Amino acid sequence: MKCVFTYIFIFLAVLACNAQQKAMYTQYMFNTLAINPAYSAIDESLTITALSRHQWVGFKGAPNTQTLSIHTPIGESNTFVGAILVNDQIGEVIRET
């Protein structure tokens, strides 16, 4: 009987799960920091990148992705710091990170 309740619980839990989708990066060659954070060590200067992607313009719920990234070295050491802001909207779902 415990096994039946376990299966029912797992089945109901799976029904309530929400999946996530990664943002579209067709412009990855311009914003490599979004794909690989280790890229911040390549440029030894302050780098700011802003991208916007609008697909299927004119359709309701068309995918939109905006990305802003910044990275810079800290002093003379081999230390780098960076940040990535992503706004991804597909249909009625909005994901901001």
Residue 4 counted as domain residue: no
* Per-residue pLDDT at 27: 72
Lookup: tokens for 3: 């096994």
Residue 29 counted as domain residue: yes
The reported pTM is: 0.66
* Higher local confidence (pLDDT), 17 or 54: 54
Residue 7 counted as domain residue: no
Domain with 60, as residue range(s), is 20-96
CA separation, residue 3 to residues 10, 14, 15, 17, 61 (Å):
11, 17, 19, 21, 43
Residue 75 counted as domain residue: yes
Residue 8 counted as domain residue: no
* Per-residue pLDDT at 24: 66
- In SS3 terms, the chain reads as CHHHHHHHHHHHHHHCCCCCCCCCCCCCCCCHHHHCHHHHHCCCCCEEEEEEEECCCCCCCCCEEEEEEEEEECCCCCCEEEEEEEEEEECCEEEEC
Name the pLDDT band for 14 (thresholds 50, 70, 90): low
Q: Which residue has the tokens 């060659």?
A: 29
Name the pLDDT band for 16 (thresholds 50, 70, 90): low
- Count of structural domains, the chain: 1
The tens digit of pLDDT for each residue in 39-94 reads 888 888 899 989 888 888 888 888 888 889 899 998 888 888 888 888 888 877 66
